[in-house]
Amino acid sequence: MKPRILYIEDNEQNYYLVSVILAARGYEVLRASDGPEGIDLALRERPRLILLDIQLPGMDGYAVARAIKARDELRRAPIVAVTSYAMLGDREKALEAGCDDYVEKPIDPMAFGALVDRWLAAGATTGGT
């Protein structure tokens, strides 16, 4: 079965780019356009990895990360923040909120694909779903 990845992203272009990169590597990508939808989908589908935009309408990515890590059944899924914020301290804020890693847009397709591979491999060795 293809590893399933959830991408919580409100921007069509970003979603499209990432979904093409991940599909080319053989991953299945699920999309949510906002935080509450992403949390629901994560609970239903149990993705192996969650990619999380920080600038989301309504509930921002930090709040989404906190909500996901507060759920026992979800906290094993690594969260990678994907953000266009280039402000000092942003990485720390994402990690503090419970994200496991942080990537800045614009995304470099090769480096991003390799990072996703690494997180999925890490999850596999610790028995993630």
Residues within the interface to Mn ion (CB under 5 A): 10-11, 53, 55
Nearer CB in complex with Mn ion: 55/129: 55
Nearer CB in complex with Mn ion: 102/120: 102
Nearer CB in complex with Mn ion: 14/120: 14
Q: How far is the CB of 56 from Mn ion (least distance, A)?
A: 5
- How many Å apart are CA 128 and CA 34, to the nearest integer? 24
Q: How far is the CB of 47 from Mn ion (least distance, A)?
A: 19
Q: How far is the CB of 82 from Mn ion (least distance, A)?
A: 9
Nearer CB in complex with Mn ion: 81/120: 81
Report cis status (omega within 30 of 0) of the bond before 57: no
- How many Å apart are CA 19 and CA 92, to the nearest integer? 26
Q: How far is the CB of 126 from Mn ion (least distance, A)?
A: 29
Q: Which residue number has the CB closest to Mn ion?
A: 55
**DSSP of 34-82, one letter per residue?**
SHHHHHHHHHHH--SEEEEESS-SSS-HHHHHHHHHTSTTTTTS-EEEE
